Structures are given as structure tokens and as C-alpha cells.
Structure 1
Amino acid sequence: MYLQSLYIENFRNYSQQKVEFNAPKTILMGNNAQGKSNLLEAVELLGTLNSHRKARDRDLIQSGASIAHICGKLEREISTDTLKLTLRRQGHRTVNLNGENLRRQMDFLGVLNAVQFSSVDLDLVRGSPDVRRCWLDTLLVQLEPVYAYILKQYNQTLRQRNAHLKVCQKSESPSGLEELAIWNNQLITYGTRVIRRRERAIQRLAPIAAHWHSNISNSTEYLQISYDSHIPLEYNSPEIIRKSFLDKLQQRSVAEVSQGTTLVGPHRDEVKLSINQIPAQQYSSQGQQRTLVLALKLAELQLIEEVVGEPPLLLLDDVLAELDLLRQNQLLDTIQDHFQTLITTTHLGAFDAQWLHSSQILHVYYGKVISE
């Protein structure tokens, strides 16, 4: 797939900007705080409807404006699609595909696939379990767009169940516990779907990431990735998982009512990362962490291409500054012209002459994009 053009209006620090992409690799160069990352964020939103910055819609809209637009024209092997996302300061966002407003945002997902890689991604190793769950969920939305709906339903049920637990915490009424059983059933239904899909994704991703990690580390280290759930997953059978889920909820019911929160479910699960069977979060060096994250991102690219049938876009946000020369070369050599790549940088020193010759270079200055 190839993003031909991007148009943004009242988005972040851009009042109005159109960018035409005319090379497989586009280098966005400029000083910090000029708007380079904002352009990548706009593309990310067209692909996943989410920003890795965790920004609210009203924070994405330019000050003084009530509405913002992000539009992209995408060339795929079987079609050319026009995508439009409209953000509103007051009210819901809307999505439009090929001139038609879509009733379900889920139908917008999976048209443009993109992998984002920034310095923030180093938190995949050293950050909290929530960071790794979010990374896995974002990948799953690209592999299986319906997962966005499943995860949304689970999170809504979780919030409602937590609210009910707080009511039970203040009251010993039997009716409260009876109603809790209803929430249990819904939590188990959606939670089982989340758990099984996460487990399957990790099973597919793990060997690919291990292969890349071995290449980058010259076969001196072995990467292991596993999905660590509170619910036993030995058979990955929905019936067995549902029963185990219910057993765990019943076992923790007293503690849950006492604390007023749900203690069992995929929102408490972990993605375990180990190097030579040692937990990476605790013992890996900074260099090992960078190698691990680079391997994960390269594995994401490969897995999405295998599932979707086309190479996704790669969005590199000032990431070369975080990698040493060896890892920079590994990443740049892998990209070549296979993946359309948008890369931000403050200088061109990390790129060799061949890379620069085959790249489109755009200068970003205070919310304006200028061709070289």
C-alpha cells in the first residue's frame, strides 16, 4: 500500500496543509516542536483511529477551531481509497471512506495499515504491563479490525462492573450480588474473546520477533515472548477459558467487593519479554532494550504484511537518535524500498548517500511543510 497524499486542517499546529508523497521514503526534517511528529500522528489516526500520544480529540484540534479534518489518498493493490477523519471539539468524530460516511468506525479500520516506531516505544520493555497490553491491542486492531469492537465492549463492561462493585462495597444487599453475576457473564464473554485473540497474536509474532532479534544480536541472545494471563490457556478452548474465568472471579469475589474493583481479566494480564530466559524489564541493558524493541517492530511489519497481503506503512518518529549505528543500519537496510516510510529527523547525518538519493526530503517549519 502507498499513501499518495495527506491533507490536514486545524490539526495540532497545522492550519491547512497538503503533502504529496512521491518516493517510497520521505524524510521530514526540522527542529524540535515544528510539527514533524504531528504529521505522523495524523497518518496513524487514519490507520488505527488512535494516537500513541493518548490525546483526546479536543487536544488534537487547533486552538480556536471547533473541527479538524485528516484526509488521505491511499493506493492499494486492488483499489485506490480516500479516507477522511473528522474530529470535533464538541461531539463525536466521523469517518468517511470513498465519499461515504460510515456508521461503524470499525469499518474504517484495516484500510490503511501502519506501524509506528518512536522513542516512546522503549517503554515497551521498561514500562508497566499496561504499555505492553496497549501495544498488543493496537497490533491486533490492524490484524483483525473487529477486535476494536470486542475490546471496546470489554472495557465498557469492566467499567460498569467496577461501578457495581463500589455499590456492593457500601451495601450488603443480596440483590447487589445477584446483579454482579450478570456482569460476570458479560465480562467473561468479552474477556474470553480478548484473551484468545491476544494469545493467538503472540503465538504468531513470537517466532518472527525471535528471528529478527537473533539477527540483530548476531545470535548471541534468544528472545522469548509469551502472553501471561490470570486465566489458564493450555487448551485455548473458549469453554475451558470461560469456566476458568468464572472460577477465578468466584475465588476473588470477596477481595473484589472489598476493594471495589475487578481483579481478574485481560486488563490485568501481561506480555512477558525475556532475553536468554531472564526478564527483560528487570535485567536488560539499554542496548538490549533497543535491540528488543527493534525486533518487535520489524516483527510487526512482517506479521501485518503476512496477514493483510500488503506491506504496511512505517512511521519512524525521531527513532534513529535512540539507536546506535549497528541498529540504525539494521533498520534502514530492512526498510529499503519495501515499506513506504515516513521518518522524522533533526538532521540528515544518519542517512547514507544512496538513502538520501532515493528519498523525498521535506522541511517542516512551524506547521508548514516545504519541499526541498
Structure 2
Amino acid sequence: MYLKTLQLRQFRNYKEQQIEFTAPKTILVGNNAQGKSNLLEAVELLATLRSHRHGRDRDLIREGEDTAQISASLKRQTGMSSLSLTLRRNGRRTVTLNSENLRRQMDFLGVLNAVQFSSLDLELVRGLPEVRRHWLDTLLIQLEPIYAHILQQYNQVLRQRNAFLKQNLEIRPTASVQSELAVWDAQLANAGTRVIRRRERAIQRLAPIATAWHANISGSTEILQVKYAPNVPLEENQPEQVQQAFLAKIQQRAIAELRQGTTLVGPHRDEVELTINNTPARQYGSQGQQRTLVLALKLAELQLIEEVVGESPLLLLDDVLAELDLSRQNQLLDTIQDRFQTLITTTHLGSFDSQWLNSSQILYVQSGEISSKTFINF
């Protein structure tokens, strides 16, 4: 797939900007806080309807404006597509595909595929479990767009069940409370089972690819393992067995949940375990080794999406070259070549050799404005 144009209106620090992409690789050059990352974030939103920055929609809209719009034209093997996402301060979104307003946002997903890689991704190793869950869920949305609906259903049931538990906090459960809680238990187990099974399948496919990339980058000196560690015991990935295990664990934690007023069982407490040579990655070695792990995960994401979708996704590299040493930079740049359309941000062009520069479109970014020529005071 190839992103041909991108238009931003009142998005972040952009007032109105149209970009036409004329090469497989586009280098966005500019000082910090000029809008380079914002542009990549816009593409990420078109791909997943999510931002790795976890921002609220009102934070994405230019100050003083009520709405923002991101539009793009995209070439795929099946032909041309036009996409548009409108954001509003009240949180309501409108998605448009080929000039048609879509009732379900799920139908917008899967048209544009992209993998984002930024310095924030080091939190995949160092951060809390929720960072790894968010990463896995974002990947799953691209592999299987219906997963966005499945995850939304689970989170809705979870919120409602938590509200019920809070209402009955420290109250000795009556028969009616237990009866109503059993209804929420069944809904949670049903929705949660669908999340768990898809997460398990995704990791089963991703793990060997990531392990192979990691061996390649590290010269086979280290062994990476990526394992899904669900909060609910997963002996078999069959709906009935998962659901039964889910309900059994809820029963075990019932008293604790009523005392604490929150749900203690379910995929919102899952973990993705990353180990190198059987040692947890967050405790292992240097920042360089942790960066190798994250690079392997990102390359595995690209490969898996390509295998499942049948086309190469876009690669969005947000100032990551500064985070990688020379050998890892070369590994990444050699892998990309012209296989993936790549948008890459940087503060200077020194990391790129002449071959890369000659085959790339170079754009300069300053204060939410983009030009093919360097700004005078840049």
C-alpha cells in the first residue's frame, strides 16, 4: 500500500496542511516540538483510530477550534481509497471512506495499515503491563478489525460490573446482589473469552517472528521469548474451556472483589512476558539490549501484518535513530529499503547515507508548516 496524500486541518499544531508523498521514503526534518511527531500521529489515527500518546480527542484539536480533520488518499492493490477522520471536542468522531459516512467505526479499520515505532516504545520493556496490552491490542486491531468491537464490548461490561461492585462495597452480599453479580460474571466471561483467545493467537504467530529477528540483530548471542500470560488460566484455547476457567477464577476472587469494589479477574490484568536468555527483559542488560528487543518486536509487527493483510504496511519512525547505535540503525535501514513506505522524523540528516538521501523525499517542518525547502531560520 502507498499513502499518496495527507491533509491536516486544525490538528494539533497544524492549521491547514496538504502533503503529497512522492517517494517510498519520506524524511521529516525539524527541531523538537515543531510538529513532526504530530504528522505521524495523524497517520497512526487513520490506521488504528488510536494514538500511542493516549491523548483525548480534545487534546488533538488545535487550540481555539472545535473540530479537527485528517484526510488521506491511499493506493492499494485493490485500487484507490480516500479516508477521513473528524474529531470533535465533545469526543464524537465521524469516519468517512470513499466519501461515505460510516455508521460503524470498525468498517474504517483495516483500510490503512501502519506500524509506529517511537522512543516511547522502550516502555514496552520497562513499562507497566498495560503498556504491553495496549501494544498487543493495537496490533490485533490491524490484524482483525473486528477486535476493536470485541475489546470495546469487554471494556463496557467491565465498567458496568465495576460500578455494580462499588455500589455494593462492604455490604454483606444478599441473595439478590449475588444473583445480579452472577449475570455480570457471565457477561464478563463471555466478552473476556473473546479477547483472551485472540490475544493468545496473535502472540502465537508473532513470537517466532520476533525471536528470529532478535537472533538476527543480536548475532544469535541472545534468545528472545515472547509469551502471553493471561490473568485467566489458559490450558486450551477453546471457548468453552476458557469461559469455564474464567468463571471459576471469578468465584475464587468473589469476596475480595466485593471488599475492594473492583474486578480482579479478566484480560484487563493480562501480561505479555518478554524474556532474554530466560531472564525478564526489564531486568536484563543494557539499554542497547532493550532497544534490540523493541526493534525485533517492531520488525515482527511489520512482517506479521504483511503476511496477514497481503500488503506491506506503512512504517512510521519517530526519532528512533537517535535511540539506536550505528549497527542497529543500519539493521533497521537495511531492512526497510523500499519494502515499506516509510515516514521518518529526525532533527538532522547525519544518520542517513547518500543512497538513502538520494532515494528519499525530504520535507522540513517548522511550527506546524511543512516545506520541501529548508526554512531560513531553521
Report the TM-score when normalising by structure 1: 0.99
Which residue identity does 1:14 align to in structure 2? Y
1:291 aligns with 2:292: yes
- Equivalent residue of 2:51, what SS? coil
- Equivalent position of 2:61 in the other structure: 61
Distance in 2 between residues matched to 1:61 and 1:163, nearest whole Å = 31
Distance in 2 between residues matched to 1:262 and 1:330, nearest whole Å = 44
- Equivalent residue of 2:64, what SS? coil
- Equivalent position of 1:186 in the other structure: 187
1:168-188: per-residue Cα shift (whole Å, max 9, x none)? 214333212211111101100
- Equivalent position of 2:233 in the other structure: 232
Distance in 1 between residues matched to 2:213 and 2:91, nearest whole Å = 44
- Equivalent residue of 2:58, what SS? helix
1:117 aligns with 2:117: yes
**In angstroms, what is the RMSD of aligned CA positions?**
0.8
Which residue identity does 1:162 align to in structure 2? N
Distance in 2 between residues matched to 1:158 and 1:293, nearest whole Å = 30
Distance in 1 between residues matched to 2:243 and 2:282, nearest whole Å = 30
Distance in 1 between residues matched to 2:42 and 2:230, nearest whole Å = 33
Worse overlay, 57-66 or 172-181? 172-181
- Equivalent position of 2:376 in the other structure: none
Distance in 2 between residues matched to 1:298 and 1:368, nearest whole Å = 31
1:272-299: per-residue Cα shift (whole Å, max 9, x none)? 0000111112223211100000000000
Q: CA deviation at 1:79?
A: 1.4
Moved over 6 A (4+): none
- Equivalent position of 1:134 in the other structure: 134
Worse overlay, 239-248 or 82-91? 82-91
1:98 aligns with 2:120: no
- Equivalent position of 1:148 in the other structure: 148
Contact 2:57 2:91 in 1 (8 A): no
Distance in 1 between residues matched to 2:140 and 2:345, nearest whole Å = 25
1:32 aligns with 2:32: yes
Distance in 2 between residues matched to 1:47 and 1:190, nearest whole Å = 24
Which residue identity does 1:232 align to in structure 2? P
Distance in 2 between residues matched to 1:363 and 1:149, nearest whole Å = 38
Contact 2:210 2:299 in 1 (8 A): yes
Contact 1:168 1:177 in 2 (8 A): no
Distance in 2 between residues matched to 1:179 and 1:283, nearest whole Å = 46
Distance in 2 between residues matched to 1:253 and 1:282, nearest whole Å = 34
- Equivalent position of 1:326 in the other structure: 327
Report the TM-score when normalising by structure 2: 0.97
Which residue identity does 2:352 align to in structure 1? F
1:305 aligns with 2:309: no
Distance in 1 between residues matched to 2:114 and 2:55, nearest whole Å = 18
Distance in 1 between residues matched to 2:75 and 2:347, nearest whole Å = 29
Contact 2:116 2:316 in 1 (8 A): yes
1:240-276: per-residue Cα shift (whole Å, max 9, x none)? 1111100000000000101111111101110000001
* Count of residues in Structure 1 that have an aligned counterpart in Structure 2: 372
Q: CA deviation at 1:51?
A: 0.7
- Could you list the runs of 5+ residues in structure 1 that have no partner in the other structure? none
- Equivalent position of 1:73 in the other structure: 73
Which residue identity does 1:179 align to in structure 2? E
Distance in 1 between residues matched to 2:126 and 2:231, nearest whole Å = 21
Worse overlay, 278-287 or 144-153? 278-287
1:275 aligns with 2:276: yes
Alpha-carbon distance change, 324 to 74 in structure 1, aligned in 2, over 3 angstroms: same
Alpha-carbon distance change, 91 to 241 in structure 1, aligned in 2, over 3 angstroms: closer
Contact 1:10 1:61 in 2 (8 A): yes
- Equivalent residue of 2:78, what SS? coil
- Equivalent residue of 1:271, what SS? strand
Q: CA deviation at 1:232?
A: 2.1
Distance in 2 between residues matched to 1:226 and 1:284, nearest whole Å = 19
Distance in 1 between residues matched to 2:34 and 2:210, nearest whole Å = 34
- Equivalent residue of 1:169, what SS? coil
